[in-house]
């Protein structure tokens, strides 16, 4: 009897927390979209902070366009086009994970222009120096 109750409890818990691959794919895609939103917020903050530096803004916009091309190419390198089902049902989740990873790296890179550079950093370039 004790064994039977444990077995019923186990299946109840397992069933209560299980998710389909489609649900997991959607959850991960939504996580990537949050990261992409963060990237856009950082990008917009930089545009606002550095709006008077037109040469920098021109170069930032070009850099961002190139980064998007790079990001998309990186995904294609990792997951080249194959016949349907080649990567399995987990493929959308994996693509979203990789997009999120690449985007987090870009957020980290761009955040330098928001945080600013340490005073005395001779290689700060266009990053504003904190006083």
In order of start, what are the domains of the chain with their CATH numbers? 19-115 (1.20.1270.180)
Higher per-residue pLDDT: 52 or 14: 52
pLDDT recorded at residue 10? 47
pLDDT at 17: 61
Mean pLDDT of 26-47: 97
Place of tokens 């917009």: 44
Q: What is the pLDDT of residue 2?
A: 52
Model pTM above 0.85: no
Instruction: Give the count of beta carbons closer than 10 Å to the beta carbon of residue 70.
Output: 13
Q: Which residue has the higher pLDDT, 87 or 3?
A: 87
Q: Are 43 and 110 in contact (CB under 8 A)?
A: yes
């Amino acid at each position: 009897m004790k064994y039977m109750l444990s077995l019923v409890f186990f299946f109840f818990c397992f069933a209560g927390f299980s998710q389909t691959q489609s649900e997991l794919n959607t959850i991960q895609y939504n996580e990537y979209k949050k990261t992409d939103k963060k990237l856009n917020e950082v990008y917009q903050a930089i545009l606002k902070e550095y709006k008077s530096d037109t040469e920098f803004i021109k170069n930032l916009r070009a850099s961002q366009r190139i980064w998007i091309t790079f990001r998309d190419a990186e995904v294609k390198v990792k997951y080249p086009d194959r016949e349907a089902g080649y990567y399995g049902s987990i493929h959308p989740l994996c693509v979203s994970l990789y997009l999120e990873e690449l985007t987090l790296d870009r957020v980290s890179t761009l955040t330098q222009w928001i945080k600013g550079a340490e005073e005395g950093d001779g290689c700060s370039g266009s990053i504003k120096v904190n006083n």
